[in-house]
Structure 1
Amino acid sequence: MKSGETGIVPPSTAPEPTGFVSIFDGKSLSGWEGDSTYWRVEDGNIVGEITPETILDANSFLIWQGGEPADFELKLEVNITKDGNSGINYRSERFTELPFALRGYQADIDGKNAYTGQNYEERKRTTLAYIGQKTTIDPQTPAGELRDNIERNAWKGLRVIEELGDADSLRTLIKSEDWNMIHLVVKGNVMKHFVNGVLISEVVDEDTVNRSMKGLLGIQVHVGPPMQVKFRNIQLKEL
């Protein structure tokens, strides 16, 4: 390391894309709500951390208080440790049986990049699209308990209509323990998850019983071993 270098990668100074508004001021958690045991701001980043002394019993979210977006684009950068597990929830609702818990769509993020970019519905229909899949979610027929339509942590109504690419090849585009750009494009019943400019998963949700057309945004620390996840440059454009 050269003299004077700190080892801290500064946030990008690129101008915000047209129509996007920053929803994180880079200095505080103003406008967000969560458990301060797990969330803080450090070096211009939102940091979510689990330590050996603060192991979680249930997933915990930092929830944006600025509204319940319906159609939107969200861009942010994320950096997660190897054993980390996180995600970006959207069009979600509070799961009131636990503090700071959300229920709804999630762009998955993990340190081993086994799931980063897939569409996983937290506390609801589970996996809606794996990495490299464009899926249609068929209506729940007949209507019944959600758990009756889940098998091996995936929704039985998941129907793959297109392969976006080989999953292992797509994973090589995601940098390990480094900054990656997540871009969500959510419009109507179509949800696209991009990582570093590449479409990783797409869901067309035809399940009018269970889908959600608007809701809360939040970022997650997941139960599991000690970990850290950092977010920066969080920008939202409502469509």
Structure 2
Amino acid sequence: MKFEIKKMKKSKLNIPLQMLFTISLCFVLQACGENKKDKTTEKPEVATNEDKDGFTTIFDGKTLEGWEGDPTYWSVKNGNLTGEVTPETLLKNNTFIIWQGGQPDDFELKLDVKIAETGNSGINYRSEQIDTIPHALRGYQADIDGKNTYTGQNYEERKRTTLAYRGEKVIIHSQDNPEEAGSLRANVQKNCWQSREVVASLGESDSLKTKINSEDWNKIHLIVKGNRLQHYVNGVLMSDVTDDDAINRKSSGYLGVQVHVGPPMTVEYRNIRLKNL
């Protein structure tokens, strides 16, 4: 009886120890394998300035890196891309600061803008540079002014002039007379392109004006796809152009923002984000 008891105790002691050693060894080997696998398959993190909606920030809020303009008029102040005209620096020609990151074709652009009451500015896109005038652009423009007379409309700088006033949905037709198809002056009256048709109303201009903040920040959203150009301010569609003028329209080009000839003024831009479509 005593012998059997000792044997049982010895047996109970030895078997669990062997099992424990075997189980522990398996866990160690498995853990080592998993750690080795994790290290070999882990992908390095890549820094990006693209947000969850696919927009990429194109102004860093600190420098003018990636932009080209006359430093007399353009600088970074309080984190904003600032255009300023003083009594000592009055302009003879409109001047732009131009993004150097490409010539977008189909895209969405979002930004915030604040402009003084005396100010006149705009966002040019699908534009071409003018060789004879420094920092000048010719092309589509989302108009912006301090009195909000023109803010939201589609104005083509140095070209076909007004394509759509605020509150208009417009189709720009090809000109019937081939001889005048490329003549800009012949088809402009009262600073407005004549080969256009207003096909719908987006609202009365004065009513839409109440949606725009005066001398405060406004959110601009441009959707440019194919030959359709939509300008939104604070989430409200202000103008909508379908450009069927195959001779004069542009499908890609430079992007830039403007300070306009006129009295001293200040305009500020921030949160400038671009998404290619």
Question: Fold-level match, TM-score > 0.5?
Answer: yes
- Aligned with residue 88 of structure 1, among 123, 127, 132: 123
Give yes or no for contact 2:182–2:248 (8 Å, CA) kept in 1: no
Query: Which residue identity is paired with 1:63?
Result: I
Q: 1:17 to 1:229 in 2, by over 3 A?
A: farther
Secondary structure of 1:169's match?
Answer: helix
- Aligned with residue 134 of structure 2, among 95, 99, 113: 99
In 1: Cα distance, 2:131 partner to 2:146 partner: 28
Residue 16 of structure 1: how far off its partner (Å): 4.1
- TM-score using structure 2 length: 0.80
> What is the correspondence of 1:1-239 to structure 2 with a 5 Å cutoff?
16=51, 18-142=53-177, 143-239=181-277
In 2: Cα distance, 1:57 partner to 1:21 partner: 34
Residue 144 of structure 1: how far off its partner (Å): 3.9
Secondary structure of 1:52's match?
Answer: coil
Percentage of pairs with the same residue: 64
In 2: Cα distance, 1:98 partner to 1:85 partner: 19
4+ aligned runs moved over 4 Å, structure 1: none
Aligned alpha-carbon RMSD (Å) = 0.9
- The number of residue pairs the alignment matches comes to 225
Residue 145 of structure 1: how far off its partner (Å): 1.5
Q: Residues 56-88 of structure 1: CA distance to partner in whole angstroms, max 9, x if unpaired?
A: 000000000000000000000000000000000
Q: Residues 37-71 of structure 1: CA distance to partner in whole angstroms, max 9, x if unpaired?
A: 00000111000000000000000000000000000
Partner of 1:12: none
Residue 17 of structure 1: how far off its partner (Å): 5.1
Residue 238 of structure 1: how far off its partner (Å): 0.3
In structure 1, stretches of 5+ residues that fail to align are 1-14
In 2: Cα distance, 1:16 partner to 1:55 partner: 39
Give yes or no for contact 2:182–2:247 (8 Å, CA) kept in 1: no
Query: Which residue identity is paired with 2:211?
Result: L
In 1: Cα distance, 2:146 partner to 2:241 partner: 23
Q: Residues 115-140 of structure 1: CA distance to partner in whole angstroms, max 9, x if unpaired?
A: 00100000000000000000000112
Q: 1:173 to 1:166 in 2, by over 3 A?
A: same
In structure 2, stretches of 5+ residues that fail to align are 1-49
Residue 161 of structure 1: how far off its partner (Å): 0.4
Q: Residues 147-181 of structure 1: CA distance to partner in whole angstroms, max 9, x if unpaired?
A: 00000000001210000001100001000000000
Secondary structure of 2:206's match?
Answer: helix
Give yes or no for contact 1:140–1:209 (8 Å, CA) kept in 2: no
